[in-house]
């Protein structure tokens, strides 16, 4: 029987993290599993708790949103520690990519009985962050600005905060000139964003990279060119289904290592947490993390 250590982010959706864990914890304990709970002060503390639990041979449960999932998953990347997710944040995009159930009973069955799946992670390097490992995506441009606005939204939650943040970001964005190098080949780009995606989803369920797979050893590089703002608003709606990839303004490349540079201090983010500026390098770490899904 698996032994679990749950690490809760108290700020993910207010009390949502603790409530989500309680529903699953009862089922795990009724099945005979041992479960201990740790409350993190911040993401760095959560990562420390995860490493310590992994060293004791325990399954680590990341309870919260994409920030804590990516932070803990990144900390456990390459360690052999088994990760489970209890989604309780605004976006839950990596859990969505893993097709994790939202029903507590179904999720408990996954955590108790399913075999691990080895998935890729992303090593991220920049001047501000010499080495960070995340799970979902690295995005540089208007979406990073939108995420910054969403993180500071006080009145809106979930997809609404991302959508409002996107509207605000697009209204003030001016196209940037990028230099994108994929596996050593340089590509010019002028537009709204460049996304290096391990997962298909970001921004609370938006399918930015429909062809991305978390275990194929590659990053999907999505570049959205400059276009009239009215077209970009339409494109934002198409992100719900992935239909945007058919537009001529969208270009998709694939590779193992991506470097993104720009002609000004363009912001970039990763899994909703990193808030820095270009340049940044993202490289895939194939099969580096074992996760229950």
Residue ranges of domains in the chain: 3-114, 123-287
Number of helices and strands in the chain (H, E): 8, 15
pTM, two decimal places: 0.91
User: Which residues contact residue 179 at a Cβ distance below 8 angstroms, ignoring those fewer than 6 apart?
Assistant: 186, 187, 188, 189, 260, 261, 262
SS3 at position 10? coil
The per-residue pLDDT for 12 is 53
pLDDT value for 49? 98
Does the domain at residues 3-114 carry the CATH identifier 3.40.50.10330?
yes
Cross-strand pairs, 293: none
CB within 8 Å of 273: residues ≥ 6 apart: 43, 66, 67, 70, 71, 134
Topology of 123-287 in CATH? Tumour Suppressor Smad4 (2.60.200)
**Residue 185 has what pLDDT?**
98
Please report, in tens digits, the pLDDT of each residue of the chain (293 residues total). 999 999 997 665 557 888 899 999 999 999 999 999 999 999 999 999 999 999 999 999 999 989 899 999 999 999 999 999 999 987 899 999 999 999 999 999 999 999 999 999 999 999 888 899 999 999 999 988 887 766 655 555 555 666 666 677 777 888 999 999 999 999 999 999 999 999 999 988 899 999 999 999 999 999 999 988 778 778 878 988 999 999 999 999 999 999 999 999 999 999 977 679 999 999 999 999 999 99
Per-residue confidence (pLDDT) for residue 232, from 0 to 100: 74
The pLDDT assigned to 247 comes to: 93
**How far is the C-alpha of 205 from the C-alpha of 240, rounded, in Å?**
7
What is d(CA 105, CA 70) in angstroms, rounded to the nearest whole number? 24
The H or E element containing residue 190 is strand 185-197
Instruction: Check residue 89 and give its pLDDT.
Output: 85
Whether the domain at 3-114 and the domain at 123-287 fall into the same CATH topology = no
């Amino acid at each position: 029987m698996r032994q679990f250590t749950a690490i809760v982010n108290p700020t993910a959706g207010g009390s949502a993290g603790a409530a989500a864990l309680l529903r699953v914890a009862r089922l795990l304990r009724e099945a005979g599993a041992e479960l201990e709970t740790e409350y993190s002060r911040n993401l760095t503390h959560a990562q420390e708790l995860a490493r310590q639990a992994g060293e004791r041979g325990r399954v680590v449960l990341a309870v919260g949103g994409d920030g804590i999932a990516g932070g803990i998953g990144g900390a456990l990347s390459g360690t052999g520690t088994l990760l489970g997710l209890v989604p309780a944040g605004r976006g839950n995009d990596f859990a969505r990519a893993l097709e994790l159930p939202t029903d507590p009973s179904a999720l408990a069955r996954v955590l108790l009985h399913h075999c691990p799946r080895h998935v890729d992670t992303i090593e991220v390097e920049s001047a501000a962050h010499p080495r960070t490992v995340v799970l979902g995506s690295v995005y540089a441009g208007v979406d990073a600005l939108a995420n910054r606005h969403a993180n500071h939204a006080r009145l809106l939650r979930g997809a609404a905060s991302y959508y409002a943040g996107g509207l605000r970001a697009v209204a003030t964005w001016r196209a940037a000139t990028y230099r994108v190098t994929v596996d050593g080949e340089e590509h010019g780009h002028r537009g709204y964003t460049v996304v290096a995606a391990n997962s298909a989803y970001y921004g609370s369920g938006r399918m930015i990279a429909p062809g991305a797979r978390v275990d194929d050893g590659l990053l999907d590089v999505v570049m959205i060119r400059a276009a009239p703002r009215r077209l970009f608003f339409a494109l934002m709606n198409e992100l719900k289904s992935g239909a945007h990839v058919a537009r001529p303004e969208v270009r998709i490349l694939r590779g193992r290592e991506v470097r993104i540079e720009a002609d000004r201090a363009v912001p970039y983010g990763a899994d909703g947490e990193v808030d820095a500026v270009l340049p940044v390098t993202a490289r895939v770490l194939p099969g580096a993390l074992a996760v229950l899904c």
